[in-house]
Structure 1
Amino acid sequence: MNRLFQLINTAFDTFEENWDSPRGQRRLGTMLVIAFLTALVFTELSRLDWLPAHIAEYIPQSHLMAIHFAFTLLLGLEVVSLILSLAHSVSTAVGKQFEILALILLRGVFKEISHLHEESLWQELYDVLLPISSSSIGALSVFIILGFYYREQKHKPIVTDGHDRISFITAKKLIALGLLFSFAGLIIWEIYDFIGQHHEIDPFESFYTILIFTDILIVLISLRYSASFHVSFRNSIFTVVTLFIRLALNAPPLPAALIAVATAVFAYAMTLAYNRFVPDLSPENSH
Structure 2
Amino acid sequence: MEFIMIRAGFLFDWIELHLESKQGMKFFATVLVSFFVSAIILIELNRRLLVPEPFASHVSLSHLAAIEQAFNLLLALEVVSLILSLSHSVTKSVGKQFEILSLILLRDTFKEFSHFSEPLLWAEIAPTLGNIIASAIGALLIFVVLGFFYKTQRSHPITGDEKIRSHFILAKKMIALLLLVSFVGICLNDLWGYFAHGLPENAFASFYTLLVFSDVLVVLISLRYSAQYQVSFRNSGYAVATVLIRLALIAPIIVGAVIGVGTTLFALGISLAYNAFAPQPEAFVCKN
TM range (shorter): over 0.9
Please list the CA deviations of residues 84-138 of structure 1 after superposition, one character each: whole Å capped at 9, or x if unmatched: 0000101110000000000000001011111111223445322221111111010
When normalised by structure 2's length, the TM-score is 0.96
Aligned equivalents of 1:228, 1:59: Cα separation in 2: 53
Aligned equivalents of 2:230, 2:189: Cα separation in 1: 39
After TM superposition, give the deviation of residue 51 of structure 1 in Å: 1.2
Q: Is the 8 A contact 2:157 2:281 kept in 1?
A: no
After TM superposition, give the deviation of residue 54 of structure 1 in Å: 1.6
Aligned equivalents of 1:104, 1:199: Cα separation in 2: 19
> What is the identity, as a one-letter code, of the residue corresponding to 1:162?
E
Partner of 1:224: 224
Aligned equivalents of 2:263, 2:2: Cα separation in 1: 40
Q: Is the 8 A contact 2:205 2:250 kept in 1?
A: yes
Partner of 1:260: 260
Partner of 1:282: 282
Partner of 2:128: 128
When normalised by structure 1's length, the TM-score is 0.96
Please give the secondary structure, in 1, of the residue aligned with 2:55.
Answer: helix
Partner of 1:161: 161
Partner of 2:204: 204
Partner of 2:49: 49
Partner of 1:65: 65
After TM superposition, give the deviation of residue 9 of structure 1 in Å: 1.4
Are 2:108 and 1:102 aligned?
Answer: no
> What is the identity, as a one-letter code, of the residue corresponding to 2:97?
Q
Partner of 1:39: 39
Q: Is the 8 A contact 1:113 1:128 kept in 2?
A: no
Partner of 1:152: 152
Q: Is the 8 A contact 1:219 1:235 kept in 2?
A: yes
Please give the secondary structure, in 2, of the residue aligned with 1:53.
Answer: coil
Q: Is the 8 A contact 1:160 1:283 kept in 2?
A: no
> What is the identity, as a one-letter code, of the residue corresponding to 1:70?
A
> What is the identity, as a one-letter code, of the residue corresponding to 1:114?
S
Please list the CA deviations of residues 132-182 of structure 1 after superposition, one character each: whole Å capped at 9, or x if unmatched: 111101000000000000111124355621000110000000000000000
> What is the identity, as a one-letter code, of the residue corresponding to 1:63?
H
Partner of 2:82: 82
Structure 2 unaligned segments of length 5 or more: list them: none
> What is the identity, as a one-letter code, of the residue corresponding to 1:17?
L
RMSD: 1.5
* Pair 155,171 (structure 1): closer, same or farther in 2 beyond 3 Å: farther
Query: Percent sequence identity over matched residues?
Result: 47
Q: Is the 8 A contact 1:105 1:138 kept in 2?
A: yes
Partner of 2:16: 16
* Pair 159,243 (structure 1): closer, same or farther in 2 beyond 3 Å: farther
Task: Report 1:158-197 matches (<5 A).
Answer: 160-197=160-197
Aligned equivalents of 1:181, 1:157: Cα separation in 2: 32
Runs of 4+ that moved beyond 4 A? none
> What is the identity, as a one-letter code, of the residue corresponding to 2:125?
L
> What is the identity, as a one-letter code, of the residue corresponding to 2:260?
A
* Pair 232,245 (structure 1): closer, same or farther in 2 beyond 3 Å: same
After TM superposition, give the deviation of residue 4 of structure 1 in Å: 2.3
Structure 1 unaligned segments of length 5 or more: list them: none
> What is the identity, as a one-letter code, of the residue corresponding to 1:30?
T
> What is the identity, as a one-letter code, of the residue corresponding to 1:222?
S
> What is the identity, as a one-letter code, of the residue corresponding to 1:124?
E
